[in-house]
Every structure is written in structure tokens, then in C-alpha cells.
Amino acid sequence: MKSARRNFLFIFFLVSGIIVGSLIARAVDGPGFWSWLAFGTTIGVGAVDPVVVDLSVMRLSFGFSLTMTIAHIICIGAAMLIYYTVKWR
């Protein structure tokens, strides 16, 4: 039971770090001193134009993209540091 709880908390902290990093990156995007936090890139398959398979009856589109910014990396690292330093019962 403790293992399932720890796994849930790990995923919770990971997702929270991603969401907070996204919010920070969007908030500081644009001119200004903190704009370096929004510096990043998008990688993936079919990020701009997804791969399309046309089967005449149905059309399937495949695509995957991952965007990473400096704010994401800092927030994910902070969330993992908090997770590993807090003593869970």
C-alpha cells in the first residue's frame, strides 16, 4: 500500500513541476530580464504536420511533441528535490 502511495506522490510532484514550469515560462515570455526562463525548444514526430494515414474510410493522424524550457527543468528539478527530501510515513 505504501508503494502505491509513494508512486502516486512521485507522479503528483512530477506533474506539478511540469505545470508550474509551464505557467512560469508563459508568464515571463517576451522582452524582459526573466525571458531566459522561457528559452527552450520543441522536439517530436509530426509536431508541425502530423503523419497522416488515409485509409479511404478513415484517416489517422499521428504526432508527438515535447516542449522543454529552462523553467520546466528548474521546476521539475525542484519538485523532485522536495519529493526526495521529505520523509513520507
pLDDT greater than 90 at residue 62: no
pLDDT of residue 72: 94
Burial environment of residue 14 by CB neighbours within 10 A (0 to 12, 13 to 18, 19 or more): middle
Domain spans of the chain, in order of start: 2-85
| 46 or 24: which leads in pLDDT | 24
pLDDT of residue 63: 84
Q: What is the pTM of this model?
A: 0.77
As a whole number, mean pLDDT of residues 21-28 equals 93
* Strand partners of residue 68: 41
Which helix (H) or strand (E) element contains residue 79? helix 70-85
pLDDT greater than 90 at residue 46: no
pLDDT of residue 42: 86
* Strand partners of residue 59: 54
Helix (H, G, I), strand (E, B) or coil at 28: coil
